[in-house]
Every structure is written in C-alpha cells, then in structure tokens.
Amino acid sequence: MKTENISLTNFNNRKFTIHTYTLDENPKLVENKRPLVIVIPGGSFDHLSLREGEPVALAYNSHGFNSVVMEYNLVQDAGKIYPDAGLDVLSTIKYYRDNAEKYHIDPNKIVTIGFSAGGHVASSANYMANSLEYAKKYGYKPVEVRPNKTILGYPLINISQIGFEVPEGETEKMPDDPKLLDGALGVTRETPATFIFQAWDDPIVLISNSIEYIKALNENHVKCEAHLYERGFHGFSLARPEVVEKGSEWENNPHAASWFKLSLEWLAQEFK
C-alpha cells in the first residue's frame, strides 16, 4: 500500500490536505478498479478526530477499497467554515475522478463517509454538488463532483439540533445559506443514496438529526438504509477495542460496531 500527504486547492482557491491510502495494483483481480472511500472525520469543527480518520480508512482498505482522509477548514481557520468545507469535498472527488487511472479506482464508485461534524460537511457537499448556483459560482459541473454514495455516522444535519450551547465567538462562523444550516433542506432527487447510523441515546448530536434527514430522503425518493442503535452515545467510530480511548470504555460496543459490516453489504448491493 502506498500512502501520501497531498496538498490540494479547492474551487475557492483554499489549500487543504488529503491523506491517501492506495492499495497495490493487482491486474489479476476480477475487479481491478477499486471503489474509493473519502473519510471526513468529526471533531466539533475545532479539530479532526483521529479515531474517525485513519482507522476507518484502513478498515475499508482491508475490504478492497482505496481510501483517503480529508482535512477541512475549522473554526480557528480564516473565514467561515462554509463554503470551503463543502468545496474541499467536491474538489477531492474531482481530483480522484481526474486521476482515476493513477489511483486504480472506479470513478463511478466514489463514496463519502462523514462522522458527526464531518457528516454535516458530507451532507452539505452533496447539496452544493447539486446546486446550480454553487456550480456556476465556483466553476464545476455537478456530474464531476457528486459522490456516488454517502455514509453518515451520527451526523450533524441541523445546527440547531445539538445537545449543547455553541461556544461564544463561533456563531459568526455559521453559514448564511439556510440549506447549510439545516442539510435536510438541501436534499433533492439527485442526492446520492445514503447509509445512516446513529445511537438513540446520543446526547451531543440529537437523534432528530438523522430522523429529519431520513424523512427528507424519503420525501425526495432517495434510497436510504438506516440503523438506529438503542445505545452507543456519541463518537463511537468503529466501536471496536482498537479505537477506544482511555476513560471511554463505552466506545467498545460490539452491537453498534455492526454498522461497518452492514455498510459493506449495502455498498456491495448498491454497486452490483
């Protein structure tokens, strides 16, 4: 496997970094063009969770995917979080589609997966990809930047549906576009088929986020598979022992860990 740290420039001329995990090419494989997973970690927009980055990328690598962990702009960076966070995703997708041969990927099997705040970025990017207004302003074509599928893990969708007060000084970083404040409003018929998982007892990103987004997908006739676990709290990542932090033993949750296997089954079904 080859790994690289690559600096890209998004459609708004902002530089950001991606960390690539590319499996060795094997021309003997029946399917030698691999699907790609773009991992977008959470972290409350003030950091990027290590537990939701490389471990997730490597987990998908072990099942034949190439993967990349994408950094996006945070509250401490210059300017507002949006539109740049969403444009980072769209620019990453276009980079891989333009370089599909180099990375041995199938350009029609690109998956975004966002956790928590990263789920907000992933769902916002889907809205921006399909928005003719954003496409015209930033000079891209929707077909170039739209992912084929999206996975959302305990995703922030509606910024008003969180279980804590927004820290003082961060409200001015909020987007102006109502469809970025509440990603469910940005769902259209062109939104990619989506896999969602979250814990019912999540006190940080309230379960109403997933429910609102599922409802919007249903109303727009977008395919969706959802797994709402009774217990799991927030931020359980792969929910396996190797991603458990000291003092947070609850993160080892074999039942909630089933989301990963289920996502593989769902993707196999979607891409067959």
Which residues of the chain fall short of a pLDDT of 70?
Answer: 164-172
Angstrom distance (rounded) from CA 229 to CA 198: 6
pLDDT for res 167: 62
pLDDT tens sequence across 156-188: 999 888 876 666 666 667 788 999 999 999 999
Alpha helical stretches, state H, 62-166: 84-98, 100-103, 117-130, 132-138, 142-145
DSSP string, 15-61: EEEEEEEEPPP-TTSSS-SEEEEEEE--STTTS--GGGSHHHHHHHH
Q: Which string of DSSP letters, residue by residue, matches 185-237?
A: GG--TTSPEEEEEEETT-SSB-THHHHHHHHHHHHTT--EEEEEESS--S--T
pLDDT of residue 27: 79
The two structure tokens encoding residue 205: 């990103």
Q: What is the pLDDT of residue 166?
A: 62
For the stretch 183-209, pLDDT in tens is 999 999 999 999 999 999 999 999 999
